[in-house]
Amino acid sequence: MKHGKNYVESAKLIDRTKSYDSEEALALCCQTAKAKFDETVELHVRLGVDSRHADQQVRGAVVLPNGTGKDVRVIVIAKGDAAKAAEEAGAMMVGDEELAAKIQNEGFIDFDVLITTPNMMGVVGRLGKVLGPRGLMPNPKAGTVTMDVGKAVTEAKAGKIEYRLDKANIIHVPIGRASFGPEKLGENLKTVMDAIVKAKPAAAKGQYIKSATVASTMGPGIRLNSQKFGG
């Protein structure tokens, strides 16, 4: 794979054989984010679990103390008081069956988070083929199926992110922008890692945190000293 000039120059700053402490890794991550836009900093955590087993799933949501740096587009499928609370909390769009139909029939997916109430899951459940592959399906564990819609909208807009295992037993999550600097990114990183460690399944055996890496959108991966996180 051929990399661009900026990537090659950035890669020279990183010792591939070394596992960095968070502060040093994030400082390097910010330093190697050389694109003309404010790059997202991502965290990739490989876990010692098997996602094929239901009792070894790792999934949840957490509010980043410093947000994601992104203007989160939140839509809500709800009725009555819940719909009103969503509008007051600043949801981009609120609706019921008509909004569900817009997603199903028109392929409307120009949003980042979909929140709904338990009594509307019969309607939302039919959208699985559209929402599922894009990771947009509401889930009680992520706090996106709830009666407290106002709080859910506020948290989503403030920087609540969902983490979940992929088929390779890796969690991929954004922890902010390069412009945040190492300190704010470090606070977000710690919040996510604490949540992942706390979510360790009882069925998990052996080493839980296998590896952890941070990287900016266009920059090289920087390996973290994952022993510092426990688990």
Tokens of 183: 């300190």
For the stretch 102-131, pLDDT in tens is 999 999 999 999 999 999 999 999 999 999
Three-state DSSP at 226 gives helix
For the stretch 164-207, pLDDT in tens is 999 999 999 999 999 999 999 999 999 999 999 999 999 988 89
Give 214's Cβ-side CA count (13 Å radius).
Answer: 35
Burial environment of residue 162 by CB neighbours within 10 A (0 to 12, 13 to 18, 19 or more): middle
Give 163's Cβ-side CA count (13 Å radius).
Answer: 31
For the stretch 2-22, pLDDT in tens is 566 766 676 777 888 899 999
Mean predicted confidence (pLDDT) in 50-61: 91
